[in-house]
Amino acid sequence: MKRKIIFIIVIGILLTIFGCKDKTDPYQIINSGFEDGMTGWTTSMEEPDLIRTDITYDGHRKYMKEGSAFLSTKSLTEGIEITSSPFKIGGLGKISFLISGNTLENAYVELINHETDEVLLTADSELYDGIVFVDNFTRVIWDATPFMDLEVTIRITDHDPSGYIIVDDFDAKIESDEEHASYIDDVLLRSGIKTDDLLMSAEHYINLYKYRINPETRYTYHVMGEMGWINDPNGFVYFQDEYHLFYQHHPYSSMWGPMHWGHVKSDDLVKWEYLPIAVAPIVLDAGGGAAFSGSAIDIDGELYIIYTENWIGYQHQVIAKSEDGIHFEMLNEGLPVIDESDLPFYANPIDFRDPKIFKHDDLYYSVIGSRQINNFGQVLLFSSANLMDWEYVGPVIQGSINSIYKLGYMFECPDIFELNGIDVLLMSPQQIPGHRNTHGTVYVTGDLNYQTGMLDGWTLDQIQEIDYGFDFYAPQTMVDDQGRRIMVAWMQSWNRSPMTAQYGWAGAMTIPRVITLDAENKLIQYPIEEIENYRSNIQSYEETVSGMVDTDLDGNTIDIELKFYPTTGKSGITLFGDALGNGTHVYYQDGYIYMDRTDSMNGRHSGDFYNITKAPVQIQEDGSIDLRILLDRFSIEVFINGGQQAITSTIYGSNATDSIYLFSEQDTLFEMSHWDLVVE
């Protein structure tokens, strides 16, 4: 009997605690984020299909929802009312939620007095501009303090057959100032306004406004930002069976500004997927702050990036890592791992940037661009056993008064690697007197001494330009799973304003190029073979030309293989051409391949110095020259005799100027294959 009494008492206590207590918080909405479908909500229709779990709309633009589910009336063709469970206004008296859609005048969210059905507050989406549907969620914060402890409901109404409403993440129990402040920050973020969370600010801004960029004004197969400015390639790496490419990015403008790291990935180096902004400045205010260039390395399945943080002109190196290659955490609490205290006395700490990391034997190394205190450039080598503690090894290469006309001053974006047992150094010298771009890109070969840090065996005469065009800078390389050394560079120039800025973006990357050394240690570069998978509609042309001939071929997103047998005078091809023969001219004359883009600049950057360039070439044994030419709306890349030389330039093209002509001052045989490049 005693045991029975004890059992009854225990059961009573449990019923008192659990059975008799209201399981529902009276100050919160049941299923406020629609994660449990329509539980807790009632509708004026029978079993409507309202719950969505999409991540993006229009195939790429993010909803920026919370959780996995949200409510949308987009699929409905008749009116509906959706009502929440009753709740009381409590906490700070604030109610927050996400809203979007084409709401026009008859789709909205209301706060309703549950007893009287009086409408207390109303909100609709402010993003729809009458032309473009923008389904990014924005956040609303209602001040419901006049209705404290009143029992209310949320009513979602869509009485517009041509409109719809999308909602998510209702929170009717905001109990702290910190929670309220976080919602205020989210309001700003989702409105494209920068907050202290610089990484999230940039990502939200892009997702909110990238719809403004007309797809017809974008490249089709070259990496570019979703909007805004980009420059140097960063963190080019093969990681978890995919190619990752980061880039200097200012999403808020088509002009250079405080740098972030944009991010794309690909499985074939042609079709790229945009990923979230990877890096934002650690500190940003009127005094400076920017995440400058750097590199990446895969260590035991984790991706490490080391890059330059710029602060009031002084530059130091920081490091972060990622398990998925997408989301990064700062190491060393974001503090420098290499700073001015690690520099030799002859280095200027104001210019100290662009670390390229690699491993040799059991140590990690980094080459970093620098300027000497005498103002000439240099590349410095550092070593580390753990990526956190670095030691200065020595100067890889240093400029002087004797090298000024080849190497100018500050050396940016160095990269060093081995090909065929030879060490190859790439770098981008600045302020080269008389250079067509002011800043250049060069390479030199030698033997890197890991004890002294010096590149032995090089001479000034050996330094060569990598690309002879107007728009090639800051190349970076990586090795993929096929053992290929692949290079990509910024396809733009510093000293000229980008012509595409009017379209809301500026800057792009070159086509990735496989690089090798020939028997004389000359750099050979050629487009990755994967681009050939996107060729279609082959057309062939063969003719002996004297004068100018219309090939009846056209296109501004094409791949051309051209062989011709020049004699004396000019002979070549006109691209982006019109009926008058204007266009971008690529031709041979007196030992050089010239590119003349004067007609394709729409009057911008006038003068031969900014529009005509040339690369030295040797005619092949059979008397021919081979050209591989890739066009992509605003760019032209020319590879000469299998990649012995390259010329890369941007142009100002249009669909009205895409004809192709051949010309020669003497009878010249031309053989051409022409493909459309279709990358969707």
pLDDT digit string, tens, across residues 146-184: 999 999 999 999 987 777 899 999 999 999 999 998 898
The reported pLDDT for the residue numbered 389 is 97
pLDDT in tens, 317-366: 999 999 999 999 999 998 999 999 999 999 998 899 999 999 999 999 99
The reported pLDDT for the residue numbered 655 is 57
Phi then psi for residue 337, to 5 deg, are: -100, -20
621 φ/ψ sector (left φ>0, alpha ψ -120 to 50, else beta): alpha
**Strand duo 94-100 + 107-113: pairing:** unpaired
The reported pLDDT for the residue numbered 21 is 37
- Residue of higher predicted confidence among 176 and 196: 176
**d(C-alpha 117, C-alpha 148), whole Å:** 16
**Strand duo 42-43 + 51-52: pairing:** unpaired
Contact between 390 and 366 (Cβ < 8 Å):
yes
| Spans of all domains in the chain | 42-191, 200-527, 531-677
The reported pLDDT for the residue numbered 217 is 93
- CATH class of this structure's domain 531-677: mainly beta
Q: Which CATH number fits domain 42-191: 2.60.120, 3.40.50, 2.60.40, 1.10.3470?
A: 2.60.120
CA 612 to chain centre: 30
The reported pLDDT for the residue numbered 332 is 93
Of 322, 339, 330, 449, the closest CA to residue 397 belongs to 449
CA atoms within 13 A on the CB side of 215: 6
CATH no. for 200-527:
2.115.10.20
**d(C-alpha 661, C-alpha 566), whole Å:** 16
B/e letters for 107-142, b = 16+ CB within 10 Å, e = fewer, are bbbbbbebeeeeebbebbbebbeeeebbbbbbbbbb
**d(C-alpha 135, C-alpha 61), whole Å:** 8
Instruction: Report, in angstroms and rounded to the nearest whole number, the Rg of the chain calculated over CA atoms.
Output: 31
Helices (DSSP H) in 76-235: which residue ranges? Answer: 177-190, 198-209
**d(C-alpha 485, C-alpha 342), whole Å:** 31
Of 282, 285, 287, 347, the closest CA to residue 308 belongs to 282
pLDDT bin (cut points 50, 70, 90) of residue 138 is confident
The reported pLDDT for the residue numbered 541 is 96
Segment 265-273 shows an average pLDDT of 97
The reported pLDDT for the residue numbered 656 is 62
The reported pLDDT for the residue numbered 198 is 85
Cα-Cα-Cα-Cα torsion 366, 234, 192, 326, nearest 10 degrees, comes to: -80
Read off the tokens for 638: 């020319």
**d(C-alpha 164, C-alpha 57), whole Å:** 14
- The three state secondary structure string of 569-588 is CCEEEEEEECCCCCCEEEEE
Active site residues: 232
In CATH terms, are 42-191 and 531-677 the same topology?
yes
pLDDT bin (cut points 50, 70, 90) of residue 55 is confident
Phi then psi for residue 469, to 5 deg, are: -85, -175
Q: Which residues, including other chains, have CB under 8 Å from residue 406's CB and lie 6 or more apart?
A: 429, 432, 442, 460, 463
Segment 42-65 shows an average pLDDT of 84
Of 538, 489, 495, 487, the closest CA to residue 509 belongs to 489
**d(C-alpha 311, C-alpha 333), whole Å:** 16
Give whole-number Cα distances, 426 to 226, 266, 380, 397, 418, in Å: 28, 24, 13, 11, 11
B/e letters for 397-410, b = 16+ CB within 10 Å, e = fewer, are bbbeeebbebbbbb
pTM of the model: 0.83
Number of Cβ atoms within 10 Å of the Cβ of 220? 16
Q: Which residues pair with 515 in a beta bridge?
A: 525
pLDDT in tens, 522-575: 999 999 999 999 999 999 999 999 999 999 999 999 999 999 999 999 999 999
Contact between 352 and 383 (Cβ < 8 Å):
no
Of 256, 369, 368, 350, the closest CA to residue 310 belongs to 350
CA atoms within 13 A on the CB side of 24: 12
pLDDT in tens, 406-440: 999 999 999 999 999 999 999 999 999 999 999 99
pLDDT bin (cut points 50, 70, 90) of residue 465 is very high
Q: Which residues pair with 143 in a beta bridge?
A: 94
